[in-house]
Chain A
Amino acid sequence: MATPAQLGLQNATSPIMEELIAFHDHALMIIFLISSLVLYIISLMLTTKLTHTSTMNAQEIEMIWTILPAIILIMIALPSLRILYMTDEFNKPYLTLKAIGHQWYWSYEYSDYEDLAFDSYITPTYFLEPGEFRLLEVDNRTTLPMEADIRMLITSQDVLHSWAVPSLGVKTDAIPGRLNQAMLASMRPGLFYGQCSEICGSNHSFMPIVLEFIYFQDFEVWASYLYIV
């Protein structure tokens, strides 16, 4: 989850998020280099007494400041496209989970075996236990196994919402009448928080998402209770 006054991205929990953080660092470094170069040149321009008022052509420098930005843009585009295609990869999923957005809560359906479905409302501030996070906790957390590929199908029952968990690098719009697929994978157990990311009415800020990733064996035990006839 985010900490107060946080500026950077949250720690990665999925391999895709690791790639995104690396790409962000790469692009940001290029931005810093270009900005500092430009600022330096501006400061040089403003602090010189030399003048040259009869420039007729500048063929060489024109070549450099056309070719070099083109190369820089290619160096940004190639990793970007690589990650874009990586997010579209479909690995053999272990489990399918449906997340349905409502005004103003999420509901989850695990339908592979028994039809398990539950709603996930925000825990109001008054009901928080000590140590819990304001506006981020929910009554029923979404339990999932770690180190497994999970197919998420996201939709909405009423207006546009968006299901986002920054630590996993997932943000997928919940559109009424449409099923959007996203792949989830967590490398470690724990609680991962997210919030609705598409304006959906008065309580848009008050419909969080909490994923509880647990060990595979524990999830199998939990799932076997779903399967008891």
Chain B
Amino acid sequence: MLDTQKPPRKKRWTPPFDPRFPNQNQTRNCYQNFLEYQRCVKTMSRRGKNSEPCEYYFRVYNSLCPTSWVQHWNEQIKDGTFAGKI
């Protein structure tokens, strides 16, 4: 992980309660944050800005999503077969 992608040193952090996903099924929580990160990075780079504000979404989806899902989605993005709208 990049340094900007890590939470501040010596400060415990975990994704907080998201009122958009209050129930037991957190699948959408993970997927939505992944999409938000990809969209944020794409928009920021299109505007020529630093993508550091997007790292919040990275930390949330990194904590919530199983790594196998993230790897699978990243491969799909690289191949151009990712089904989500980025």
Interface residues of A (CB under 8 A from B): 88, 90, 92-96, 98, 100, 109, 111-115, 117, 151, 153, 155, 157, 177-182, 227
Contact = CB atoms under 8 A, between A and B. Distances in A.
Q: B-side binding surface: helix, strand, loop or mixed?
A: loop
Given A94-B14, A95-B12, A181 B24 contact: yes
Given A112-B7, A112-B63, A181-B25, 7 more contacts: A88-B24, A96-B14, A98-B64, A111-B63, A153-B66, A179-B29, A180-B24
B51 interface: no
Given A112-B7, A112-B14, A178-B27, A90 B22 contact: yes
Contacts of A180: 24-26
A151 B64 CA distance: 10
Which residue, B16, B26, B65, has most C-beta atoms of chain A within 10 A? B26
B82 interface: no
A117 B66 CA distance: 10
B1 A114 contact: yes
A76 B29 CA distance: 35
A155 B1 CA distance: 24
B12 A179 contact: no
B17 A96 contact: no
B67 A95 contact: no
A153 B26 contact: yes
Contacts of A112: 7, 12-14, 63
Contacts, number: 61
B81 interface: no
A180 B17 CA distance: 14
Interface of B: 1, 6-7, 9, 12-17, 22-27, 29-30, 62-68
A90 B17 contact: yes
Nearest to B21: A181
B66 A95 contact: no
Contact of A177 (B9, B13, B27, B67): B27
Given A92-B17, A179-B27, A180-B26, A100 B6 contact: no
A139 to B, nearest CB: 20
B32 to A, nearest CB: 12
Contact of B15 (A88, A96, A113): A96
24 contacts: A88-B23, A92-B16, A92-B17, A94-B12, A95-B12, A96-B63, A98-B64, A100-B68, A109-B66, A111-B63, A112-B7, A112-B63, A113-B7, A115-B62, A153-B64, A177-B27, A178-B27, A179-B25, A179-B26, A179-B27, A180-B25, A181-B25, A181-B26, A227-B9
B17 A179 contact: no
Nearest to B59: A112
A86 to B, nearest CB: 14
Contacts of A88: 23-24
A214 B22 CA distance: 29
